[in-house]
Structure 1
Amino acid sequence: MFFKRHVWFVLLATLLLSKLASASTLLVMGDSLSAAHNMRPEVGWVSLLQNQLSETHPAIKVVNASVSGETTQGGLARFDKLLSEHQPRWVILELGANDALRGYPLTQTSQNLETMIEQAHQSNAQVLLIGNQIPQNFGKRYTEMFFNLYKNIAADYQLAYVPFMLQGVALNKELMQADGLHPNKAGQPIVLETIFPHLQPLLSDSE
């Protein structure tokens, strides 16, 4: 009898610890803008976020599942497994720029993002949606549709939303890499300063 009770207690404690661990996970689903493209990972804005949270929210673990070159279709293909593995309490969703740069239909981009949002909600995770912009040479109509895509999704799903993650960075050559698309090391803290005020209320609501 003692042995059975001991086994039951160990199983229960393991389950509780697992739930506590997963409840404090923040999953970042992004592309090269979140994967510290062409830099050491520790200087990217996601690593800087983890450093900041280690002081203010030490129980939160940041998992960076961002992949350079990722599209919404690629992210969607990986997302369900990541949700199952990490059971995050929060998801930062930063995808879509590569869809636009490749000229993919924005209806498909929207559908992929919406599916990921719905999957996250089904897993009881809160979502912060990160918006972006693309160069004007893609045409005014397409660039405006792409920018508004995120705003419309955020409104439909009542999400926390960052309109443009490279605000204050994209047009400053001193903060951008030579390709003109990715922030350099100096630009990463500013990216985090743009994102964090939109994330902080989600973290506060869970305390």
Structure 2
Amino acid sequence: MVFGDSLSAAYGLEIDQGWVTLLKSKLRENYPQWQVSNVSISGETSSGGLARLPAALDRHQPDLVLLELGANDGLRGTPLKAIRNNFQQMLALLKERKIPVVLFEMQMPPNYGPAYTQRFNKIYHDLAKEYDVQLLPFFLDGVAGMEKLNQPDGIHPTAEAQPMLFANIWPVLDKTLKSL
């Protein structure tokens, strides 16, 4: 189950242009026993995700969760303690249900100041260790800040960027799937 925000919901694109569609295709080739449910919502925050997670788990009963949230929290300047708390509760619920997680690291642009930016980024690394979950390094690497790879808003990747995002995701996900 992909549980994320606009970055996983293919904001501004046809849904079949997003990286999740590339994932579905790759899984059909390499892991046909795996299916993907994408329950990502544009604009989602960690607090919204926390509120939605129990029902999504009950409905989809996933064997693995790709947790891609936090960018909207950071862009809104949400207090770091609140972000961390929301993630802790989501990860605790997933651990309680014995559902493996791949946690997607988010990063903030430097204009948010070094203190907020560094502490925001650290949340993902700390929680991955604390809850013993797989951390996917910043999946927007090579895309974030690249004008030609982002829509006019400067935030959401274009269709052309989606294969790059998938290329950032697949090695970690492939390793995770082999271990399950």
Taking structure 2 as the reference length, the TM-score comes to: 0.96
Matches within 5 A, 1:63-102: 63-102=37-76
Q: CA RMSD in A?
A: 1.0
* CA distance in structure 2 between the aligned counterparts of 1:172 and 1:101, rounded to whole angstroms: 18
> Map of 1:62-141 to 2, 5 A cutoff?
62-141=36-115
Match status 1:200 vs 2:174: yes
What count of residue pairs does the alignment treat as equivalent? 180
Contact kept? 2:102, 2:133, Cα under 8 Å: yes
Q: Secondary structure at the match of 1:63?
A: coil
Partners of 2:31 and 2:92 in 1: CA distance: 26
- Matches for 1:161-200 after TM superposition, within 5 Å: 161-200=135-174
Name 1:34's counterpart in structure 2: 8
Tell me if structure 2 keeps the 8 A contact 1:87–1:123. Answer: no
What's the CA shift for 1:172?
2.3
Cα distance in 2 for residues equivalent to 1:198 and 1:183: 20
Unaligned runs of 5+ in 2: none
Deviations 1:53-111 (A, max 9, x none): 01111121100010000000101111001111111110000111111111111111111
Equivalent-residue separation in structure 1 for 2:98 and 2:59 (angstroms): 14
Which structure has the higher relative contact order (CA within 8 Å, separation 6+)? 2
**Structure 1 segments of 4+ aligned residues over 3 angstroms from their partners:** none
1:3-37 deviations in whole A, cap 9, x for unaligned? xxxxxxxxxxxxxxxxxxxxxxxx11101111101
Matching residue's letter, 1:112: N
Residue 51 in 1 paired to residue 59 in 2? no
**Which has the greater radius of gyration?**
1
Give, in whole Å, the separation in 2 of the partners of 1:153 and 1:52.
28
SS at match of 1:77: helix
- Counterpart CA distance in 2 for 1:38 and 1:156 is 35
Counterpart amino acid of 1:73? S
Identity %: 43
